Homo-oligomer: A and B are copies of this chain.
């Protein structure tokens, strides 16, 4: 390698903010660290990249190892490189956010972690490194994107009611939204189409919808 750069190199990690909605709350996966630094402290799932893998490959690998979850929406959030953010050495972290449908997402802890759990974003524990500010930025990004893109539907199963979509918006923003205005906006938005099916045998069964195929977004835009 004739042009190899001779100065010291930093270490590079990927870290992931994986969100879902449970019990009408926005939740994030954290792992409890099994080793120093920050042993026993909660942190984002992540780890050092391998030199022969792309960044997205690395973050998918780390997320799957830490949580067992695959098939999520994934997008780069930003790169965090403050000189003193890691006590080991200079470590630059490329952070991603990932969105998984609401429901029973089963977690498994791997060898780097002694525990993995979902946390309400409003009730976070003490966090390792600068992970609190990474999470803060991720939440703001999702709050912006939910108004300007179709990411709300990444939290939902393929068939949903209008009330389900409103609930996602309410969970992400952490406040109630006017039902009538939301329904009017969504049904007029050209985003969804009725399936001609209803859910539930209750007094007032709700109409089921799906996202129009032309509206489905790809990751890594």
Contacts and interface: CB of A to CB of B under 8 A. Distances in A.
Interface stretch (A82-90, A114-122, A210-218): A82-90
Main secondary structure of the interface of A (DSSP, over half): loop
A94 interface: yes
A78 B141 CA distance: 14
Contacts of A83: 51-54
The 8 A-B residue pairs with the shortest CB-CB distance in the complex, in nearest-first order: A9-B9, A3-B88, A55-B81, A79-B79, A51-B90, A79-B94, A5-B11, A4-B89
A29 interface: no
Contacts of A148: 148
Interface of A: 1-5, 7-12, 36-37, 48-55, 76, 78-79, 81-83, 87-92, 94, 148
A42 B82 CA distance: 30
A43 to B, nearest CB: 14
Contact of A88 (B4, B7, B8, B37): B4
A36 B1 CA distance: 12
A7 to B, nearest CB: 6
A5 B54 contact: no
A10 to B, nearest CB: 5
Contacts of A89: 1, 3-5
Nearest to A7: B48
Interface-central residue, A37, A52, A94, by most chain B CB under 10 Å = A94
A181 to B, nearest CB: 21
A11 B9 contact: yes
A81 B88 CA distance: 23
Contacts of A49: 10, 81
Given A10-B12, A83-B54, A148-B148, A5 B88 contact: yes
A53 to B, nearest CB: 7
21 contacts: A1-B88, A3-B36, A3-B89, A5-B48, A5-B89, A7-B50, A8-B51, A9-B9, A10-B12, A49-B81, A51-B83, A51-B90, A52-B90, A54-B81, A54-B82, A55-B81, A55-B92, A76-B78, A76-B79, A79-B94, A148-B148
